[in-house]
């Protein structure tokens, strides 16, 4: 069972420049609400009320002014600041004290999901769990390699030639050992601590499970995916599904 969630909302948003010249990408509007509202709603649907938001230092005040203590959402928010761009795993390492040896759900701040993951999240006990989605541009993501039983046997970060079309989306369930695994990570060629390396540690110790997203999903990290995110969000909101 998971009671705590972490939203990773740092980074510089260079792929969305110049829209991000004076603000953080997670504060940009997706249809009729700020982008970060969508991962908040994903966690809320799953019954998670205690959330740590990790954001960059330049716009930290904007996040707190917008979201405050979370009361508007019926949740409780706390904040940590990531200085620089050390990667997703480095950002997650800042949540160790917040997690306090409990399982956590981690979601990237630019991901929009139609699915309700409450059953999977409430049943989670140990190891790690990721959520896969078939995409047409897998080279933008961590790509999951599957065996004949659809079990994940490896994840490759942004491959030049992807072995499958299954992207590891931006929602992760981790047990308390995740922080020890992060401490074992070494910077990639991009100079970052990759969340893919953390997931592969779970895979190598046979502690990884996965499920497939049934509904719509997208990130909003590029101009094209940002445009698609607004279209998906509009359809889901008008159908009252998020």
Q: Report d(CA 122, CA 113) in Å as an integer.
A: 17
Residues 133-181: pLDDT tens digits? 999 999 999 999 999 999 999 999 999 999 999 999 999 999 999 999 9
Domain boundaries, the chain: 4-238
Indicate the class that CATH gives domain 4-238.
Answer: alpha beta
Q: Is the pLDDT of residue 125 over 90?
A: yes
Which residue has tokens 């590029």?
A: 222
44-79 exposure pattern, b = at least 16 Cβ within 10 A, e = fewer = bebebbbbbbbbbeebbeebeeebeebeebebebeb
CA angle at 84 for the pair 105 and 95, rounded to the nearest 5°: 25
Q: Report the percent of the chain where pLDDT is more than 70.
A: 100
Residues 71-111: pLDDT tens digits? 999 999 999 999 877 899 999 999 999 999 999 999 999 99
Contact 24, 56 (CB under 8 A): yes
Q: Which residue has the higher pLDDT, 13 or 169?
A: 169
């Amino acid at each position: 069972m998971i009671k705590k969630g972490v939203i990773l909302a740092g980074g510089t948003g260079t792929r969305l420049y110049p829209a991000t010249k004076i603000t953080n990408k997670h504060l940009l509007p997706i249809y009729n609400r700020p982008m970060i509202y969508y991962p908040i709603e994903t966690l809320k649907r799953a019954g998670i009320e205690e959330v740590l938001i990790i954001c960059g230092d330049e716009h930290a005040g904007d996040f707190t002014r917008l979201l405050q203590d979370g009361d508007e959402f019926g949740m409780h928010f706390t904040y940590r600041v990531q200085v620089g761009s050390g990667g997703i795993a480095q950002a997650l390492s800042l949540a160790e004290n917040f997690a306090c040896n409990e399982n956590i759900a981690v979601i990237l701040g630019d991901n929009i999901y139609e699915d309700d993951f409450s059953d999977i999240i409430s049943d989670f006990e140990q190891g790690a769990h990721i959520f896969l989605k078939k995409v047409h541009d897998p080279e933008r993501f961590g790509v999951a390699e599957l065996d004949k039983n659809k079990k994940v046997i490896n994840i490759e970060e942004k491959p030049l030639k992807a072995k499958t079309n299954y992207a590891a989306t931006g929602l992760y369930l981790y047990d308390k050992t995740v922080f020890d695994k992060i401490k074992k990570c070494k910077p990639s060629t991009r100079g970052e601590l990759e969340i893919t390396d953390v997931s592969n540690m779970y895979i190598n110790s046979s502690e990884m499970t996965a499920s497939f997203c049934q509904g719509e999903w997208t990130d909003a990290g590029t101009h094209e995916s940002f445009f698609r995110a607004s279209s998906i969000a509009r359809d889901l909101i008008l159908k009252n599904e998020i």
